[in-house]
Structure 1
Amino acid sequence: MKDISVVMTTYMHGRFIRAAIESVLAQTFKDYELIIINDGSPDNTDEEILKVKDPRIAYIKQAPSGLPAISRNRGISRATGRLIAFFDGDDTWHPSKLERSLEVFREEPVVDILCHDLNLIKDSGKILKRTSFGPYEGDVYRQLLVEGNSLGISGTVMKRSIFSEDTCFFSEDKRLFTVEDYELWLRLAKSRRYHFYYLPEILGEHRVFEESASLANAGKNASNMVYLLEQNLETLATHDNDLKKIIKKKKSKVMFGAALAYNYRREFSESVKWHLMTIKEYPIYSKPYLTFLATILRIRLGYI
């Protein structure tokens, strides 16, 4: 049994997949397996993967599913490591990522789920900002609802034993497309059975580009996020009005994110629609009013 199984999922990452794989092969910690699941990419992803020869790589090319959860779950089922490190095929890791993660699990046996920081980069490789996650203290479920998805998939390492229960896999519900990771974190935190740990070190890069699922599917992503938040709202105690207000504002921010994404892609009519939805959901949220005016004037704004 390997110490760590790296589960890399990829779709249409032909330009970046080699760099992602090479960043895994360059790890200072060597006792791992790399499981790559290609979700039927029609570009040159398959060709680029096959160029890399290493006995630690297990490559699976499947028929297109359209759902990252299906690919991740297949990788989990194939994994043999004590730990599973998730990785998207357009991201990269620093050489010490696996070594530092393993040190935490060895020094803190109670830890079940670890997440570290990532640099957010453009497709050119230019660093946009540091994406900080955590801290995971106190009521983690409430924190995740209030702060949002504070675990980045390429920065997350988990004990494989968590997935011994069928209920702990990524949801393959199409209504949770692109938010399936957030849904799993909420579900695990809500159970109060697992210990989350935040490592405040930058150990990789997360790439954002116009073809990414979160940007190209901004409206669907926002709708699915709103659906997830509403699902969790239904389970809250009726007296928890403060949290309900916070989530209502959060829903408006999700809608606003879609409005900005459509503006960035110059899809101004869609941006107008999402701006109006944002304002209707939370009228006292001031930011959308200015960007709404810019969108009406067809002025493209920065997304990040």
Structure 2
Amino acid sequence: MLASVITAVFNGEKYLQESIESILNQTIKEIEFIIVNDGSTDSTKDILDAITDKRVKIIHLEKNLGAANALNTGITYAKSDWIAIQDADDISMPTRIEEQLLHVSKNPHLVGVSSLVECIKGNIPVSPSIFYGEQTLYNIVLNKEDNFNSRFYNCYVCHGSVMFSKEAFQRVNGYNPHFKISYDYDLWLRLYDIYPIEKINRILYQYRVLPNSLGKRSKSDTISELMTSVIHFIGNSIISNKKKNNPSFVVLGSKKGCSFVMKKVKLKEEINIMKFLDGGKNRSKKIALEYYNQGLIDGIIILNNKNAQHLIDYFLDRGLIFNQDVFKIWNYKF
């Protein structure tokens, strides 16, 4: 078995058959295909039960517990060293698995590989700005340093296009079921701690842009989860690297941005935001630096906006280290 392909599906009857066929028709045949039905109430179960290909294993869950839980369940059954994700809405190009396996075999240090994507439409109209924005974002190819350094405020990796090491996945404890939207991004953060995910500079995946997908129903909820994931990750890194049991930060951003963090981001008790400061005021950066130099805080978090780079340059010029002492993270754009 060269690769295990995992799909989690909830009420995916519209596009599921096409998605399944794209995997069964891959140029590499030595695969197993594990599909987890996450408590669907439409005809998903009937579609899955009609599959006769012996490479396919179907798991029916009685209750809908979210994609992260379903993917974790499927991966526990996987027999291969490499896990390829296939979202139930999307289509893999015929050579996708073959090309990704070839890439990781030539680069054994990798924990994962993705690809460029072609965005495709479903049967519900989506605005051109969203459609082309997604395609532009997922087709940015960065070197490993830029990819790593930008990980706290951007994500250039399309979830379904990724193949990753099962060993690395288990080492970082898999998907976090706490996240209903950004479970993939949260996993990338932890995998990046081992090695950045590289991207093959070819279109190997067709990503269906749907306006009613979980990540697009509420911009507020999506950004809230992204921020929560990042701040938890940064806090845990401080705990590991600086041996601090209760890391403390200040946050610099606009009044609206700081208010959003206060209201929408749920942090663990051991991670403390000491103060929110208006990043547009000259005095704020001096206060943050003073707190840091006095040892009152362990890091400075800057919300990504037009003033962010100026603030980062200010702290770096005074000896702080980017993504170690000072961090730029996602921001809610009002």
TM-score by length of 2: 0.65
Question: Which stretch of structure 1 is more off in the superposition, 22-31 or 59-68?
Answer: 59-68
Partner of 1:297: none
1:218 deviates by 3.7
Between the aligned partners of 1:31 and 1:283, the Cα distance in structure 2 is 44
The amino acid across from 1:71 in the alignment is: A
Question: Match of 1:290?
Answer: none
2:160 paired residue number: 154
Query: What are the within-5 Å matches in structure 2 for residues 42-121 of structure 1?
Result: 42-121=41-120
Q: Which amino acid aligns with 1:5?
A: S
Deviation digits for residues 101-120 of structure 1 (CA, Å, limit 9, x no counterpart): 11101222222210111122
Aligned twin of 1:198: 199
Give the Å deviation of 1:168: 2.8
- CA-CA distance at 1:36 after TM superposition: 0.1
The answer for the alignment partner of 1:178 in structure 2 is 181
Q: Could you say which residue in structure 2 is the equivalent of 1:207?
A: 208
Q: Which amino acid is the alignment partner of residue 92 of structure 2?
A: W
Paired AA for residue 34 in structure 1: F
Q: Does the alignment pair 1:122 with 2:121?
A: yes
Deviation at 1:195, TM superposition (A): 5.0
- Cross-structure match for 2:283: none
Q: Please give the alpha-carbon distance, in whole angstroms, between the structure 2 residues aligned to 1:178 and 1:159.
A: 22
Counterpart Cα distance in 1 of 2:173 and 2:147? 17
CA distances 1:108-162 after superposition (whole Å, capped 9, x unpaired): 222221011112222149994433154241265422114x122211110011221
Q: Secondary structure at the match of 2:109?
A: coil
Query: Is the CA contact (8 Å cut-off) linking 2:39 and 2:62 kept in structure 1?
Result: yes
The residue type equivalent to 1:224 in the other structure is E
Distance 1:133 1:181, change over 3 A: farther
* Cα distance in 2 for residues equivalent to 1:179 and 1:247: 23
Q: Which residue of 1 aligns with 2:22?
A: 23
Amino acid at match of 2:199: Y
Q: In the alignment, what sits opposite 1:296? A: none
Deviation at 1:202, TM superposition (A): 0.8
- The one-letter amino acid paired with 2:189 is L
Which residue of 2 is the match for residue 278 of structure 1? none
**1:88, distance to aligned residue in structure 2 (A):** 0.9
Cα pair distance change 1:217/1:201, threshold 3 Å = same
Q: d(CA) in 2 for partners of 1:6 and 1:183?
A: 20
Q: Is the 8 A contact 1:229 1:247 kept in 2?
A: no
Deviation at 1:13, TM superposition (A): 0.8
SS at match of 2:181: coil
The alpha-carbon deviation at position 63 of structure 1 amounts to 2.1
Residues 73 and 169 in structure 1, CA contact (< 8 A), matched pair in contact too? yes
- Displacement of 1:19 in angstroms is 0.4
Q: Is the 8 A contact 2:40 2:64 kept in 1?
A: no
CA distance in 2, matches of 1:114, 1:246: 33
Partner letter of residue 197 of structure 2? Answer: F
Secondary structure at the aligned position of 2:14 is classed as coil
1:137 to 130, 140, 144: 144
Structure 2: state its 5+ residue gaps: 243-248, 261-301, 308-334
Q: 1:225 to 1:95 in 2, by over 3 A?
A: same
The equivalent of 1:189 in structure 2 is 192
List gaps (5 residues or longer) in structure 1.
Answer: 239-243, 256-280, 287-304
- The change in CA–CA distance for 1:247 and 1:203 in structure 2 (over 3 A counts) is farther
Residues 29 and 282 (structure 1 numbering): CA distance in 2 closer, same or farther, change over 3 Å? closer
Bigger helix fraction: 1
Structure 1 residues 232 and 51: CA distance shift in structure 2, 3 A: same
CA distance in structure 1 between the aligned counterparts of 2:141 and 2:304, rounded to whole angstroms? 29
Aligned to 1:223: 224
TM-fit CA distance, 1:6: 0.1
2:174 is the alignment partner of 1:169: yes
For residues 80 and 248 of structure 1, do their structure 2 counterparts lie closer, same or farther at Cα, with a shift above 3 Å needed? farther
Distance 2:203 2:62 in 1: 34
- Cα separation, partners in 2 of 1:247 and 1:142, compared to 1, 3 Å: farther
- Secondary structure at the aligned position of 2:164 is classed as strand
Distance 1:233 1:105 in 2: 28
Closer, same or farther: CA 150–13 of 1 in aligned 2, 3 Å: same
| 1:20–1:91 Cα contact (<8 Å) kept | yes
Structure 2 letter corresponding to 1:196: I
SS at match of 1:88: coil
Does the Cα contact within 8 Å between 2:169 and 2:191 map onto a contact in 1? no
Q: Could you tell me how far 1:29 is from its partner in structure 2?
A: 0.8
